[in-house]
Every structure is written in structure tokens, then in C-alpha cells.
Amino acid sequence: MFWKMKDKIFVPEKICLEEMMKEQPFQYFKIESAYYLISLIAKPKVKKEYENDNFNRLLTKLLEKQVWNYKEYLNWFAEIGIIEIDHSYQIKKKSKGYKIQDNYFSILIKYQLTDKDLIKRINKGYTVDFLGNTVFELAKYFDENLTLSSDALVFVEDQYHNSMKGIEDKCRYNYSQSICHQYQNSAFHCTRDTTTYRVHSTYSGTPTDIRFMVTHASGLIKGIDIVNSQPFFSLVLFEPWFWEKSLNHILSIYNPTILCTQPISSIPPSFMFEKIIKTTNSPDVLLYRQLVLDGQIYNWLGDLINKNLPHIKETPVDRNGAKKLFFPIFYSKDFHNGKTVTAVKELLNREIPDVMSVFHIIKSRHHQALSHLLQRIESFVVIDHFAPTVWNDYVIFTLHDSVACLEHDVDFIKNAYKKKIEEITGFEPILTVK
């Protein structure tokens, strides 16, 4: 991971450790170390992350190099009621979780670190890349040249802060505010996860509402997106060559044990090959492929839902609505207590049965396998094979399937990106510039 942290952190406004220390002191207390640990526990999450797990999981091996007696601090925080600890950890799978108690959960304010030794230990700890030099190459353009308009913070204050009601609103505000301050202080982060190999950075984490306000000293930034990217990458799953290559050569691109946080057994290759060979040229796979390549898969689904499931929405389902209804195909369980989870899945099981059967086989041992696989294919294309061809000569940033570059480089980057995608997948994508 790569984090240009410098010397500023953000802590909950309601927490005043100086006063709490007077009431219940402990021996090896250093105020800045304590606030640093609080900042990690209070680190904002996007809505989806918060809903999935409202505890922050800390890397203890890293922490012990930064604050040697961090456990004593964490136990003290719990004793005085500042934090809650989730002890349900699993070795090598799930770390202990920590979160700020609701009565202390508040907007974040800036805290200036002055302890030079602590600052040095923190910054040294956050310059470790677990997957080679990729993160450092992508992070090199995160510097003082990358800025966010001051209008962004005004927007966040007006739209989020002034309308805060519950904890979810505070999460949204804190997260957006922290992103704004990362740009203001050039305190950028860039990490790569070890599950899907996606890169997560300040740019990729910038809320959509303010991302268009991000600029570079050399010019405006434009994003190049793949139209219906997840369905597009799913097309390779119906190609026998993909399974032959990925199972033998492509860095275990399909390995359910690695792809999922919970260990699951590999799908027997012979079973997969047999199923794929039968479906490759089936009528509904050919229909699905054409709809995806024409950029019409969501429009088709919307029409299908409006015709067959008029009760699912009060108003007709448009393209964006169909996209939201399609995502559970990739991300959620297919069955619950032996019954199809959603009416949309049941409808698609009838309309494109061979497509859905391949998806179901991949998810049969764990429902996250399909989404993780698609994200890993995306990372394989974008991060491992396209980005290295341009990052030495062009300013680029990545946002999952999207590549962002300077406005005057758009034509070249777009053509190069399109060529690389087609070279790897065998399919020509539709790209849009935003």
C-alpha cells in the first residue's frame, strides 16, 4: 500500500482524550499515539463498506511497529467506553474489529501531529506494497499537482453536513470530508487488495458528486469507462480458452480459495469445461453476448421487467434501474431455503438459462466467487496489462474498470485501452468519455 500521510489525522469532534486521561489515567500514555489510534478506528467508510461491516479491521503487525503498546491503548479505550471491540476474529481470515461508540460518533476534525518519531514510524509503515511495484507506479501521480476544487468542500458542507440526521449521514459526511482534506493536504493513499487485486486510491474513492472537480496542474482529467463493464468481462466465462489459460497460467485468476474470504473448494475443471462447451454457442448465450457488445443489456432487461414484472416498481424501469436490478445476479446468493432469491433472477433463469447456469455453477460453493472473479479479470486487464504500457509517459489514474487521464491525452489512451481489452478478451468494448 502507499499512503502520503504527512502529519495530519482526523478524529471525532466529541472525543477529548486529555480530559478522559485526567479521569482515568494509565502508565504509558502518549496523547498523539492515542489520537492516532482513534483516527484509525474512526476512519470513514463508504456506505457500502459500512453496511457490510461497521467495524474497522486494523493491521496489528503494522500497528505494533508504530505504537508498540497499542493493545493497552485499545483496552483503555474500551474500558472508558469510547470504542466497541469485535472479538470474533479468525486466524488469517478476519482481524479484530473496532468502532467508535455511538455516543462519541461525530464529525471528524483535523488533529496536527508533532511527534517526529511517531510521524516517521507511521509514514514508513504505510509504504509497503504487498503486490510488487504496481501501487508505487500508479501512486507516482498523486502529488501536489493533483487538486480538488475548494467548491467540493463547500458542496459537502451544504449537501451533507447541513442535512445530517443519523449515523449513516454522519458516515457520508465524514467520508466525503476526509477525501477533500486528502486533496487539500496532498495526503493521498493508494492500495491494492489481495482478494480481487483492485486498486483503491484517493481518486477512486472520491464521491461521484465531486469527482468532476478533481484537476491536475497539466490539465483537466477525463475518465474513460467500459459500457456495462461487469457483463462485458463476464463474456470470457463462456469461452473455453479462458478456463484453460486461467487455470494454468494467469496467476490463479480463478481460484475460489483466494477469491473469497471464506475458503471453498475449486470447481472441477472437467465439469466446467463440459458445461461451457455445451453453452458457448447456445441461443441465449449468443443473445446475451450480442446485447452486451451492443451496450443494450440493461435496456433489454428493463423492457423485460416492465413486460413481465410490472409490479416490481411503481414506475417503469429505465436503464439505470435495470442496472441496479442486474447487479445482484453477480453479487448476491441465487437461492435461499431452496427458493430463487429475487423475481428478476427467476425471470432471467427462464429467458437466458444457459447464461444463468454458468453463473450459478461459479457461485455454487460461495456466492462471492462470481463477483470476485469478474473484478479480478478487470484488474488483470486494467492494472496488470494496460496501465504498465502507459504509466511512464502519461498521467493516469484508475477507478476499477475506468482509466482517467489528462483531457489532451484522451484520444490516445482511449484507443490504446480499447486495443488492449480486445487483445486480452477477444471482444471489442464500447468506451465512453466522462
Kindly report, residue by residue over 300-359, the tens digit of the pLDDT: 999 999 999 877 766 788 898 899 889 888 888 876 655 556 788 889 999 999 999 889
Average pLDDT over residues 156-164: 73
**250 falls in which pLDDT band (50, 70, 90)?**
very low
Q: Which residue has the cell 457461485?
A: 363
Is residue 107 within 8 Å of residue 174, measured between CB atoms? yes
Does residue 234 share a domain with residue 104? Answer: no
Does residue 204 share a domain with residue 233? Answer: no
Does residue 163 share a domain with residue 228? Answer: no
Query: pLDDT per residue over 42-97, tens digit each?
Result: 887 655 554 456 788 887 777 888 899 999 999 999 999 999 998 776 665 567 88
Q: What is the number of domains present in the chain?
A: 2
Does residue 91 share a domain with residue 61? Answer: yes
Could you tell me how far CA 35 lies from the centroid of its own chain? 27
- Cα(189)–Cα(371) distance, rounded to whole angstroms? 25
Does residue 402 share a domain with residue 320? Answer: yes
Domain range holding 418? 219-434
C-alpha cell at 329: 445476479
**Proportion of the chain above pLDDT 90, given as a percent:** 38
Pick the last residue of a domain from 190, 216, 242.
Answer: 216
Question: Within a 10 A sphere around the Cβ of 14, how many other Cβ atoms?
Answer: 14
